[in-house]
A and B are shown apart, each in its own frame.
Chain A
Amino acid sequence: MKVLVTVKRVIDYNVKVRVKSDNTDVDLNNVKMAINPFCEIAVEEAVRLKEAGTATEIVVVSLGPQAAQEQLRTALALGADRAILVQSDENLESLSVAKLLAKVVEKEQPDLVLMGKQAIDSDNNQTGQMLAALTGMGQGTFASEVKVEDGKVQVTREVDGGLQTVELSTPAVVTTDLRLNEPRYASLPNIMKAKRKPLETLTPADLGVEVKANTKLLKVEPPAERSAGIKVADVAELVDKLKNEAKVI
């Protein structure tokens, strides 16, 4: 079985982003970048499928600036076999990314596409579902467990109220949630080995896709700040404040 995994280059999750003073966007200058954590979980799942003998090849794809090669190399060090960068300096919105990925899917013919459920920068939670729609595949979103058996994928999903299991025929798109697995760290020898694994660079034009904007960003502002309140001395004072000052209990 061939698995396609996608990774997005995003701000490191530990970094608190700042809004530019002219309110045009957030400031990503000199900010630490990393693989989107949900994509890292997708890579880990693919590697585990390969270790279990279910997957035979893992192709990792990223779409974005040339610097996204770093994230592809990380994925290769974690166990992906080869990488594709669809290079573009434009702001790629979800629908364009899904269209580009649909072309990669057409070329690569994977049996399973593993993606993160959302990117922690735009917080959109869209691309996997859009790719599934464009390619006519079934979708198993927000996965906390993935089982592959004879041409079928069983996906247990984190939904409101609990867990839901669906069965999809392959090829299918699965998007990862936090509980699917705990990603490993790349070992030094694997980081060295990853440098020699193949990395192909394509452009949107190579894939015959015209990148289009569906939205226009008008402004970006910091959220309303909350200021710290007071410290109470003990539980009795807390209860008194909640009853008589805040009047919420």
Chain B
Amino acid sequence: MSILVIAEHDNQALKPSTLSTLAAAAQIGGDVTLLVAGNGCAAAGDAAAKAEGVAKVLLADNPAYDHEIAENMAALIKSLAEGYTHILAPASANGKNFMPRVAALLDVGQISDIIKVESADTFARPIYAGNAIATVQSLDAVKVITVRGTAFDAVSAEGGNAAVEALSQVEDTGLSRYVSEEMAKSDRPELTSARVVISGGRGMADSEHFHLLEKVADKLGAAVGASRAAVDAGFAPNDMQVGQTGKIVAPELYVAVGISGAIQHLAGMKDSKVIVAINKDEEAPIFQVADYGLVADLFTALPELDESL
């Protein structure tokens, strides 16, 4: 078996989701080639060469892959696909964007968001907001797969010594043009790989009060998350949304504050190791999954928590 893994990176380093995807590749078994595509991504290519279990790194460093525009990424991956039995990418915003395009160009299906490798062609994945786990067997010659990072323990970022091959061919479709981006700036850990996550919901009432949460987060070294309702109301930016259709997190500790626990929210956090819920409604469904529940008004509980840490 021969596996092509598409790296998620920031041009300088690999994102943790790449290391989790490499872990899934290792479970499938076979030679692993890691593709690093971007613009000015040579440093990420060097980092890729050190990752555990990587036999070879392909480096596609060209303005055509700036911001990993899906049309060009898919054309590139399709051009490299021959000879691989599996193509894997993290189920990140980028991976979700270009991988189905790759699958269609190869005339195969895609298996999205796998949480378990049963065998080289059989995988488990959540469906219906995680209320059911489907085990599916791929019938295609090439398996195109996205991997849920939280479901696989990352391989080591060090210890490997793969050769880096720079690709000369450039796939520029001209179908889409990057215009701009607006990234939320934060010194806190990244949400999907943080050890502790503290999330606020509609109960936070407004963005002023959302800062209460950020103070506690900083004391805990935590990432901040939010429910959809909190994002829709403008208390928090979109990329903080935890849930079925937002980010999937599984930290050591998840603290849900003023969040009711709708199935769509639970889908994004119920694999956390320890769950704490703070909610003034003792009937809130979030308490059904919480290891420690505190029935309290968050406007008194959060400042108290802040003090006692």
Task: Tell me the complex Cα distance, A159–B247, Å.
Answer: 10
Q: Mark A92-120, 1 if CB is under 8 A from B, else 0.
A: 01110010000000000000000001101
Q: Mark B131-151, 1 if CB is under 8 A from A, else 0.
A: 111111111100000000000
B178 to chain A minimum Cβ distance, whole angstroms, is 6
CB under 8 Å from chain A, chain B span 186-235: 192, 196, 220, 228, 231-232
Chain B, interface SS category: mixed
B296 at the interface (CB under 8 A from A): yes
B51 to chain A minimum Cβ distance, whole angstroms, is 20
Task: Tell me the complex Cα distance, A157–B98, Å.
Answer: 14
Beta-carbon contact of A165 and B253 below 8 Å: no
Q: Mark A208-225, 1 if CB is under 8 A from B, else 0.
A: 000001111111111100
A121 at the interface (CB under 8 A from B): yes
Task: Tell me the complex Cα distance, A128–B103, Å.
Answer: 12
CB under 8 Å from chain B, chain A span 121-149: 121-134, 136-142, 144
B153 at the interface (CB under 8 A from A): no
Beta-carbon contact of A141 and B97 below 8 Å: yes
Beta-carbon contact of B136 and A139 below 8 Å: no
- Candidates B176, B276, B290, B295; contact of A242 at CB < 8 Å: B276
- Candidates A158, A169, A220; contact of B93 at CB < 8 Å: A158
Question: What residues of chain B lie closer than 8 Å to A67, measured between beta carbons?
Answer: none
Question: What residues of chain A lie closer than 8 Å to B259, measured between beta carbons?
Answer: none
- Candidates B94, B109, B112, B192; contact of A123 at CB < 8 Å: B112
Question: What residues of chain A lie closer than 8 Å to B309, measured between beta carbons?
Answer: 239, 249
Known: A141-B96, A242-B276, A248-B253. Contact between A169 and B175, CB under 8 A? Answer: yes
User: Chain A contact residues (Cβ within 8 angstroms of B): what range?
Assistant: 35 or more
Known: A95-B108, A98-B104, A125-B112. Contact between A215 and B132, CB under 8 A? Answer: no
Q: Which of these binds chain A: B25-33, B68-76, B156-164?
A: B68-76
Q: Mark B291-309, 1 if CB is under 8 A from A, else 0.
A: 1111110000100110011
A157 to chain B minimum Cβ distance, whole angstroms, is 8
Task: Tell me the complex Cα distance, A165–B252, Å.
Answer: 34
Task: Tell me the complex Cα distance, A177–B238, Å.
Answer: 10
Beta-carbon contact of A166 and B132 below 8 Å: no
Beta-carbon contact of B274 and A242 below 8 Å: yes
Beta-carbon contact of B100 and A121 below 8 Å: no
Beta-carbon contact of A229 and B292 below 8 Å: yes
Beta-carbon contact of A133 and B239 below 8 Å: no
- Candidates A133, A140, A165, A177; contact of B180 at CB < 8 Å: A165
Beta-carbon contact of B294 and A232 below 8 Å: yes
| Most B CB within 10 A of own CB, among A93, A129, A140, A169 | A129
A11 at the interface (CB under 8 A from B): yes
Task: Tell me the complex Cα distance, A217–B276, Å.
Answer: 35
- Candidates B109, B133, B232, B241; contact of A221 at CB < 8 Å: B133
- Candidates A95, A120, A157, A231; contact of B295 at CB < 8 Å: A231
Question: What residues of chain B lie closer than 8 Å to A201, measured between beta carbons?
Answer: none
Q: Which of these binds chain A: B40-48, B81-89, B121-129?
A: B121-129
A226 at the interface (CB under 8 A from B): yes
Q: How many residues of B contact A (CB 8 A)?
A: 90
Known: A13-B264, A223-B133. Contact between A231 and B294, CB under 8 A? Answer: yes
- Candidates B103, B122, B179; contact of A166 at CB < 8 Å: B179
Known: A17-B128, A130-B100, A246-B253. Contact between A214 and B109, CB under 8 A? Answer: yes
Task: Tell me the complex Cα distance, A103–B105, Å.
Answer: 16
Task: Tell me the complex Cα distance, A214–B141, Å.
Answer: 10
Question: What residues of chain B lie closer than 8 Å to A118, measured between beta carbons?
Answer: 245
Beta-carbon contact of B244 and A123 below 8 Å: yes
Known: A166-B176, A249-B196. Contact between A215 and B238, CB under 8 A? Answer: no
B263 at the interface (CB under 8 A from A): yes
Question: What residues of chain B lie closer than 8 Å to A186, measured between beta carbons?
Answer: none
- Candidates B103, B107, B132, B292; contact of A232 at CB < 8 Å: B292
Question: What residues of chain B lie closer than 8 Å to A17, measured between beta carbons?
Answer: 128, 131-132
Beta-carbon contact of B287 and A228 below 8 Å: yes
A127 to chain B minimum Cβ distance, whole angstroms, is 8
Question: What residues of chain B lie closer than 8 Å to A235, measured between beta carbons?
Answer: 294, 296, 301, 304-305, 308
Beta-carbon contact of B181 and A179 below 8 Å: no
Beta-carbon contact of B308 and A163 below 8 Å: no
Interface, chain A (partner B; CB < 8 A): 11, 13, 16-17, 19, 26, 38, 93-95, 98, 117-118, 120-134, 136-142, 144, 154, 157-169, 177-179, 213-223, 226, 228-232, 234-236, 238-239, 241-242, 246, 248-249
